[in-house]
Amino acid sequence: MHNKFSTDLIPGEICYLEYYEPKNEKGKGIIEISKVIYGYIDILNYQETEILKKSMNEEILLSGSCNRNVNCPEGDEFCREKYSVSRIIVGGHLCTGSLINNVRQDYTPYYLTANHCLVGDTDVWLFQFGYMYESCNGGWPLPTYSYSGADIRANWANSDFALLELQEQPQSGENNFPDVFLNGWDRTENIPDNLIALHHPNGDYMKINTDDDDLTIWSNHWLVRNWNTGTTEPGSSGSSLYNQDQRVIGQLHGQLPLNIDPFHEPCDPEKESIYGMISRSWLGGGTSATSLSPWLDPDNTGVETLDGIKMPLLKYGWIITNGQSFQRNAYSQMRIGSSNISQFTVQNGGNLTLKAGKEIVIRPCTAILSGSVFRAHIEELDCSELVMLSDKESDYDASICSSQNPPMAKQVSNTKYNFYSQTNIKIQPNPFSEDTRISISLSNSDIITLTIYDILGNQIATLADGESLSAGNHNFSFSGQNINSGVYYVVMSSSTERISRPLMLIK
């Protein structure tokens, strides 16, 4: 152990360091702060003026306007690979990289990035996974998962590769990164039919580039002349280039021509991206410290291509066929989604019921096909807590927060899942700075209570107390002038439902 640790990015002007000392270790602890890095560029979108401009369908651009979010349709086939990618915070620098598989497939957390990113002490590098928007048009950022520290295994300047091994083993699990994936690779020099790049340009949320033109080989590098969508920028360095088989063939070195200012006109069509080739890095400089082969094929099998693999700690791969019925229960949280074995699929005629006490999350790569029966039910739910039904909540008709069994779901299509809910709640704006509007849509007349709680469950305001409302839309106003910034919850109770929504106040 090197006894070093780096924190995640901390927004704001003040941070507090808390140290817990066991009673039998009194006086033994020593904390030394070796470096404080102050960010002068707001890569967290933390500034109030920018956050208040943000709506659910509008993103704040840190990178070039030609870039596309990874959760756009172009990324549908890369719903596993995007969970291999992280933003790297290297002192005052930013890079990108991704986890990569080895022939033994033993889940060693090897990590591929660029040699020129090797700045400072890798023991305190921070690897931030899952830094992406929930939808193509922006919306809310998804939860991120950070790991601190890595060891250098090999690097070679000629193809600008660096292979690291994370000092923390990423974990798939309820309170950890849910879909840890290690990329496959292709060390042949076969020209791909299509190209995909996943990266964090200028430290922005994860973006996806596409290209269907032939590659050119240029001095140990792949040369991408013109992207069909997207571009590369500072911060993209070290990001992986994928072929049509979703295997990594290189990592980003930089851009050509070299005389173009990388910070000017990021979407300039004259820019060309160059990627160090896996094929040239394989033997590299001829030693274990300068080549990929001793690490990615330690038994010298000679394999030229390898598929990616998902961490196996949560098994999600079910296929429910015609006539089969399954019920899955979880006391607190239920998560379903992709697997390295097979994706989750409810086929025509299949019957699936999910029940959870607190949370149901449906991960990407899930397929609930037309003609199947799908039910999701939250039991004994405390609606003062945030309920997430899916990472892509906009794909769903409504969320479930019901104290009663919902009726059978209507027939399901491939693109829209119809969850039953009598009531729809919208909050605009959210986040808000002074006042916001809460809209409730009722399918039938009902008696409702509408209450605001803080994060500790304290009642802040009551907007409706047993009011009899007709079917249709009803609007309520809430002012945050007399309360502090923070996360609050809007809770609506009726004769059949109890629904909670998060509310963020930023002054």
Catalytic positions, written as ranges: 116, 160, 237
Residue 393 has phi, psi (to 5 degrees) of -60, -25
User: How far is residue 76 from each of residues 72, 333, 364, 413, measured CA to CA in Å?
Assistant: 7, 25, 9, 17
Residues 343, 69, 196, 124: is their CA dihedral positive or negative?
A: negative
Cβ atoms of 200 and 235 closer than 8 Å: yes
Please give the distance of CA 56 from its chain centroid, rounded to a whole number. Answer: 17
Cβ atoms of 232 and 197 closer than 8 Å: yes
- Residue in this structure with the two tokens 């049509």, named with its chain if needed: 244
User: What single-letter amino acid sits at 192?
Assistant: P
Q: How far apart are CA 480 and CA 463, in angstroms?
A: 13
Cβ atoms of 350 and 372 closer than 8 Å: yes
Cβ atoms of 227 and 209 closer than 8 Å: yes
Question: Which two tokens mark 497?
Answer: 């439902």
Question: Which two tokens mark 189?
Answer: 């020099």
Question: Which two tokens mark 232?
Answer: 């590369």
The residues, ordered by sequence, that sit 6+ positions from 36 with a Cβ below 8 Å of its Cβ are none
SS3 state at 433: coil
Q: How far apart are CA 217 and CA 241, in angstroms?
A: 14
Please give the distance of CA 132 from its chain centroid, rounded to a whole number. Answer: 5
Helix (H) and strand (E) counts for the chain? 3, 36
**Burial of 273 (C-beta count, 10 Å sphere; 0-12/13-18/19+):** buried
Q: Which residues of 97-133 are buried (b: 16+ CB within 10 A; e: fewer)?
A: bbbbbbbeeebbbbbbbbbbbbeeebebbbbbbbbbb
**Burial of 70 (C-beta count, 10 Å sphere; 0-12/13-18/19+):** buried
